[in-house]
Structure 1
Amino acid sequence: MDDSESKDAELELRGPGESAKGWYSRGYLPHLDSIHALQFITFRLADSLPKNQLEQLECELKQLKSVRNLESVKRKRIDQWLDAGYGCCALGHPEMARVMEQALLKFHRVRYQLIAWCIMPNHVHVLIEPQEPLGKIVQSWKSITARWALRKNAELELRVPGRKLWMPDYWDRFIRDQQHFEQVIDYIHRNPVKAGLCSRPEDWHWSSTRDRGAPAPQQQQEKTP
């Protein structure tokens, strides 16, 4: 990552006088964008989900009446598709994953506290305590990695389609309590195991699990936080 990319990312992260949104509505449930509110974030590559299946899912959701069921069904189905490894999976390349890791760590303890993270082949899970608006933080990660990926696309055979690496927007959920906090960390670290990429969370190199030096918790039934 060169100096110009670092400066660009810092400017994008700060934004011109932008403040956190607070409570706002997006999709089926309310969201909270607030400084120091712990946030579980997932963002994915542009081609990580098949368009025809997404359209079919939207049709199915229209048949459901419960708002809570809508969110739960949609999230569970999308997680299953992501873990199936659809699309170019550029983040599966070690060099691409390393740049993604560097982007996450770059503003740790400066713009946010990075609590847990996991880089999957076609998506990323992050748990942070933000000190800046959430959208600007996510955009900085995307900008740094997208510029690098598009420059290295042919050389490393990343198979990024067109000029678009990331899907617009991101999924976020604020942490409700200690139980939810622990559940989210476990979910993040177990994602590679759930997807069949390794046997134990600590065996996955592109995750904060390797820094914790503690044995993985006992296998539990997977839940979507």
Structure 2
Amino acid sequence: MRTLYVPNTPIHITYRLYGSIPNLPLQKLHSSRRLQRLRLEEQYPQVRRRADPQLREEYLEACRATEIDHYLNYDRMLDAAMTGPRYLRGSSAKRIVLDSWHHLARQHNLRIYAISVMDNHVHVLLENRSADQLVSLVELLRNHKKYTATQLNRLHGTRGRRVWAEKEYTRTVRRGGFEHVLWYVLNNPVKAGLTDEPLSWVGNWWADELYEAFILSRVA
């Protein structure tokens, strides 16, 4: 189910450039997830899940594991892509994406914890700071993509070029999992083989407030 609003707990968003993954491998990846879900439905029939809370929890945990496995395979495909657009390559392009997120954070009272701008996709870790103001994730991403597409096309002299893929992945960070997700985001260029030092990667940004609690221990 697509997340409609930015929650008051951390959420990890991943979105990519249009054409960054070829259609056939992407279709195979989605088909594999659907098959896994069908197998889980057979293994944990709905009638039995309703009658047995423990079985229902096992089913939900298996579904979460399937979704995580699907996402990790998706992210690996982006990191390993040998063809496709690289519109986000270079410090000027990455700065457009970073600046847009910081502008949106000020505008909508968001707390951004970390961003990693790769050459063909982006990771963002953020949450809604307001307890009484709903922030539409759909509108947020729509505005971000529209603005950054215009600026990237202006940077590259390619007016009207389609920049972003339509869909994104969103995952709410589970209790106790914040540090793991934070370093997953910041280590993205490391696992892609682009750098050995995530804190100096030109596309990485993290909130100053995280330094002592989560960053210093890794670099000390």
* TMscore range, shorter length: 0.7 to 0.9
1:102 corresponds to 2:74: no
| Aligned counterpart for 1:197 among listed residues 194, 198, 205 | 194
TM-score by length of 1: 0.72
Q: Would the alpha carbon gap of residues 36 and 73 (structure 1) be closer, same or farther in structure 2, given more than 3 Å must change?
A: closer
Q: CA deviation at 1:78?
A: 0.7
Which entry has the higher C-alpha Rg, 1 or 2?
2
Q: Is the CA contact 2:114–2:207 (under 8 Å) kept in the aligned structure 1? A: no
Q: Would the alpha carbon gap of residues 71 and 210 (structure 1) be closer, same or farther in structure 2, given more than 3 Å must change?
A: closer
Return structure 1 stretches of 4+ with deviation > 6 angstroms. Answer: none
Residue correspondence of structure 1 range 10-25 to structure 2 within 5 A: 25=1
> Secondary structure of 1:152's partner?
helix
Calculate the aligned-residue CA RMSD, in Å.
Answer: 2.5
| Aligned counterpart for 1:88 among listed residues 85, 89, 102 | 85
Question: Which residue pairs with 1:150 in the alignment?
Answer: 153
Q: Is the CA contact 1:203–1:210 (under 8 Å) kept in the aligned structure 2? A: no
Q: Would the alpha carbon gap of residues 127 and 174 (structure 1) be closer, same or farther in structure 2, given more than 3 Å must change?
A: same
Question: Which residue pairs with 1:137 in the alignment?
Answer: 140
Q: CA deviation at 1:120?
A: 0.6
Q: CA deviation at 1:101?
A: 1.2
Which whole-Å deviations, capped at 9, do the CAs of 1:130-183 have from their partners, x for residues lacking one? 25111222222111111112233337xxxx9x7210011211111221x21111
Q: Is the CA contact 2:115–2:185 (under 8 Å) kept in the aligned structure 1? A: yes
Q: Would the alpha carbon gap of residues 97 and 62 (structure 1) be closer, same or farther in structure 2, given more than 3 Å must change?
A: same
1:41 corresponds to 2:19: no
Higher share of residues assigned helix: 2
Question: Which residue pairs with 2:47 in the alignment?
Answer: none
Relative contact order, higher structure (CA 8 A, sep 6+): 2
Between the aligned residues of both structures, percent identity stands at 29
Question: Which residue pairs with 2:126 in the alignment?
Answer: 128
> Secondary structure of 2:196's partner?
coil
Question: Which residue pairs with 1:61 in the alignment?
Answer: 33
Deviates more, 1:142-151 or 1:59-68: 59-68
Q: Is the CA contact 1:118–1:188 (under 8 Å) kept in the aligned structure 2? A: yes
> Secondary structure of 1:208's partner?
strand
Q: Unpaired segments of 5 or more residues in structure 1?
A: 1-24, 219-225
> One-letter code of the match for 1:36?
N
Aligned length: 184
